[in-house]
Amino acid sequence: MAARAVYDLANLYYIRGDYERAESFYQRALKMQEELLGTRHSDVALSLHGLARLHRTQGRYEQAEQLSQRALDILEVDPTEHALSIAMVLNGMALLYTDQGAYTRAEPLLRRALEIWEKALGADHPAVATALNNLAEIYRAQGTYEHAEQFYERAFQVVEAVLGKNRLMADLREALLHHEQGTYSRAEPLYYRALQIWEGALGKNHPNVALVLGNLALLQSEQRAYAPAEPLYRRALQIVEATLGKNHPTVATTLYNLARLYVAQGMYAQAEPLLQRALRIAEGSVGKDHFIMADLLHTFGVISYAQGDLVAALPFLERSLAISEQRLRKEAIYFSEARMASFLGLLRGKEVELYNLLRERPSEVAVRRLALTASLLYKGRSVNTLTDISQSIYRSLGVLDREAFEYLRSLRTQLAVLSLGGTSHLSLTEHEARVRDLEAQCDRLEGYLAHRSARFRTQRHLPNSADVLARVTASLPPDSALIELVTFTSYSHAFTLGPSEGRTPGIPVYVALVLLPEGEIRMVDLGPAAAIDSAVADLRAALTDQTRPYEPVAQKLYQLVMAPIVPLLGSQRRLFISPDGDLNLVPFAVLHDGQHNLLDTYGITYLTSGRDLLSRPQELPPMSNAVVFARPDFNTGGAPSALLASNTDSFSTRSGRLARFYREAAPFLSHASLDPLPGTEQEAKILHQLFPNTRMLLGARATTAALFEVQAPRILHIGTHGFLLESDKVNAPSPPALTTRDWGRGIAESAGRLAAPDEPMLRSGLYAAGNTPVTALELSSLNLWGTQLVVLSACDTGLGQTEVGQGVAGLRRAFIVAGAETVVASLWKIEDAIAPELMQHYYRDLVAGRGRAEALHAAMRAIRAEHPHPYYWAAFIVVGKDGPLRPMPRTASPVTTTSH
Convert the pLDDT of each residue in 555-595 to its tens digit. 999 999 999 999 999 999 999 999 999 999 999 999 999 99
Q: What is the pLDDT of residue 426?
A: 67
Confidence of residue 337 (pLDDT cuts 50, 70, 90): confident
Higher-confidence position of 446 and 313: 313
In angstroms, the CA 248 to CA 243 distance is 10
Q: What is the pLDDT of residue 526?
A: 97
pLDDT (mean) for 632-641:
64
Q: What is the pLDDT of residue 900?
A: 39
DSSP calls for 627-695: EEEEEE-TTS---SSTTHHHHHHHHHHH-TTHHHHHHHHGGGG---B----HHHHHHHHHHHHHSTT-E
The single-letter code of the amino acid at 138 is: I
DSSP designation for 142:
T
In angstroms, the CA 635 to CA 720 distance is 14
* Total Cβ atoms within 10 A of residue 161: 13
* 87 pLDDT more than 60: yes
Residues 544-559: tens digit of each pLDDT: 888 889 999 999 999 9
Q: What is the pLDDT of residue 387?
A: 79
pLDDT (mean) for 254-278:
93
Which run of H or E residues covers position 698? Answer: strand 695-699
Residues 408-454: tens digit of each pLDDT: 888 888 787 777 765 556 677 777 788 788 888 888 888 778 777 76
Query: pLDDT averaged over the chain?
Result: 84
pLDDT (mean) for 628-634:
92
Q: What is the pLDDT of residue 752?
A: 38
Q: What is the pLDDT of residue 732?
A: 32
Q: What is the pLDDT of residue 800?
A: 83
Comparing CA positions, the residue from 836, 843, 811 lying closest to residue 714 is 843
* 169 pLDDT more than 70: no
With the C-alpha atoms ordered 877, 881, 883, 887, is the resulting torsion angle positive or negative?
negative
Q: Which residues lie across from 767 on neighbouring strands?
A: 773
In angstroms, the CA 133 to CA 131 distance is 5
Q: What is the pLDDT of residue 503?
A: 52
* 167 pLDDT more than 50: yes
pLDDT above 90 covers what percent of the chain? 48
* 647 pLDDT more than 50: no
Residues 518-534: tens digit of each pLDDT: 999 999 999 999 999 99
Residues 349-407: tens digit of each pLDDT: 899 999 999 999 999 999 999 999 999 999 988 777 777 777 777 777 677 777 787 88
In angstroms, the CA 106 to CA 713 distance is 41
Confidence of residue 497 (pLDDT cuts 50, 70, 90): low
Q: What is the pLDDT of residue 727?
A: 59
pLDDT (mean) for 226-232:
94
Q: What is the pLDDT of residue 772?
A: 86
In angstroms, the CA 821 to CA 885 distance is 10
Helix 83-99 / helix 103-121 crossing angle, nearest 10 deg:
150
Confidence of residue 634 (pLDDT cuts 50, 70, 90): confident
In angstroms, the CA 583 to CA 805 distance is 12
Backbone angles phi and psi of 676, in degrees to 5: -65, 155
Higher-confidence position of 523 and 466: 523
Confidence of residue 795 (pLDDT cuts 50, 70, 90): confident
Q: What is the pLDDT of residue 756?
A: 60
pLDDT (mean) for 851-872:
96
* 184 pLDDT more than 90: no
Confidence of residue 672 (pLDDT cuts 50, 70, 90): very low
pLDDT (mean) for 784-808:
88
* 642 pLDDT more than 80: no
> Is residue 889 helix, strand or coil?
coil
Query: Residue 42 in contact with residue 82, Cβ under 8 Å?
Result: yes
The single-letter code of the amino acid at 707 is: L
* 821 pLDDT more than 70: yes
In angstroms, the CA 513 to CA 525 distance is 9
Strands 624-632 and 695-699: parallel
Least confident of 86-90, 691-695, 743-747: 743-747
Which run of H or E residues covers position 521? Answer: strand 521-528
pLDDT (mean) for 622-643:
75
Strands 624-632 and 713-719: parallel
Pinpoint the alpha helices (H) of 506-657: 529-543, 551-557, 563-569, 644-654
Highest mean pLDDT among 173-177, 272-276, 392-396, 797-801: 272-276
